[in-house]
Amino acid sequence: MKMTEDLKKAVENMRPGVITADGFLGNDERLLVDIIESDEEKIRSLNINLQDDIKKIRYLFEKGKEAFEEPVTVDNKWLIKVDEARGHLPCPFEDGIFRKVNLRIKNLDNNEELLITELSLHLIEKHHFFQGKGSAFRVEPEKLKKVLEE
């Protein structure tokens, strides 16, 4: 993959202080294309079905929203909680604006936990961008697999 003008613009939007105080890249100094390619390779090596996981996360978001910001157990498998703050965040790829909604998921079988936002889910689904290493909202593929495993 090549660093196109669109990707270069996205990188500028991901820098600290542009969209969020801390940005999306953390302390990761790799090129955006290298971050994406590395995570795509990790998804393949872990045999993760990303579309199935995205559907599962959307399902958990809906269940959490029904609970009005209270913790709720879903399918006897996950303890989840959705928190919503005022405001919206634009996607650094400039293809959407997202409410500030966080989903905390705890797998009750293995106690693995994950925090994911509506924007993070969009970044993973549409751009295969899990955020840079060291980013507060980075979703590690290994963690995703452990938390969502049945």
The whole-number pLDDT of residue 110 equals 97
Amino acid 41 reads: E
Q: Please, are residues 123 and 131 in contact by the beta-carbon 8 Å criterion? A: yes
- How far apart are the C-alpha atoms of 82 and 65, rounded to whole Å? 6
Residues 88-114: tens digit of each pLDDT:
999 999 999 999 999 999 999 999 999
Q: What is the pLDDT of residues 13-59, one digit of tens each?
A: 999 999 999 999 999 999 999 999 999 999 999 999 999 999 999 99
Q: What is the Cα–Cα distance from 56 to 39, expressed in whole angstroms?
A: 19
Residue 60 Cα distances to 56, 97, 118, 148, angstroms = 6, 21, 12, 10
